[in-house]
Structure 1
């Protein structure tokens, strides 16, 4: 379905319309000689009408034209909505084939072992494109730079409303590229903490699927979708994350607070409430709440009052 051309007239086309309107009626030959392209567009839109018997061209009431074009657009939009409703149904057969293939790939109830690094990465990409609510990541040991250089997937997830908690070990504080990544991720809204204890590598998406090592060398991954097992792994992660320490990533890297966050911190330090800060800065309460959550993580504050107290000497 081709979208109708209802772009407003250009300044040249408007000038030609006004000229015809002032003249009352003009021969088609004269109008075309003045500006053939503008005349053709006005005739196409219906702002000029051609009386073929005597060859005259006259202006048409733009309100009448607007009503007609509006009706055309509404009809076009109705068709698009109908097509949108049919899309899911049209892909239904393909979706069923995809689900069947996924079920055949599972060797056990709710657990899939994947031994190929390429296949592991492919399955992770599919999951990361689909999850919408929460991501939990426990990453022991040093983080290779190539795993942190591409932050596009994390940022896309956060942009669609995902919350993210990441757990590292103390070595990450002494690794420049990891500390820089953690400082940047904190600005995006990720909570990155450090636990000085051994823990197992795991990724959990929307509390629906967990990915854990299935071999000592991490060459095999287990994709777990059994709800009971996933719930247990979530509880393990939450227990470890609650014991983990907040890290002043920004101080380690010399990264300054973003300007908006700095202003919010300054106003909180004066005793203003979250709503008052939002009003003062012309921001939504939701935006201010997100900045406050990042500030609390950065300063290790449990309450809004404590955060204001910690920032009373000026947001750093």
Structure 2
């Protein structure tokens, strides 16, 4: 879905036109945006569904406050989180069923015990050809020696061109073993993000094998579900990619920088849909200065679009 706060998208252009010119018809919006009337109407219907625009009498439309639109986006994101948690619970039920009789689903195997699970994780990394995707959440079963061995493996694989993308639980910063390991791997070139309470511990090698690790129910230790190419492996891959888009870059998540007054003004205007030119005029700044500071704010927020920046800023309480 196009970003309603991104002035480069059709939806963003229509929404911004309504913000600047309230109570307009589709024809008037088409003239202001350069879009066809039918295209404008489609975008308006989408904006209504997003809770950003309201239809009035006589074919007139008006924008709702941008902050309200951001809040609606945050609610939708919360719904997505809830959906992912439900998916994680369903996967765990499938795991429990597979443990009772693994022959029911030929793409599944079960590994019992810390040594076997960690061995499977090492083999997965050694066999990967392109990328390894990781969700690393407590409990952290590895010892200090294991983490040192894992660092050696990961450095070797990254040196061979394998891309590591790791999604960490926010608590990893405070763990005396996992925290320093995370910092060293990020410094070595790992792509890392953090998210509060990801739903599972997961490792995916290319599209060939996934390892889901869980604490054993009936004894101390851990067990793992080994998933080969199947619909379940595709579902796990999709869960990872969805969580990755919701997460914050680890380098930004570990700090809580303060905004100065000028950056706060710029961020507020960005969230309202203002362009760089409009921000420059409003604040009496040069356009290049605004472009530079907007780019820096997006980088601090781990955002690639203005819409993402607005959502992340609202999540962090910057607005």
TM range, smaller chain? 0.3 to 0.5
Q: TM-score, normalised by structure 1?
A: 0.43
Q: With CA pairs under 8 Å and 6+ residues apart, which has the higher RCO, 1 or 2?
A: 2
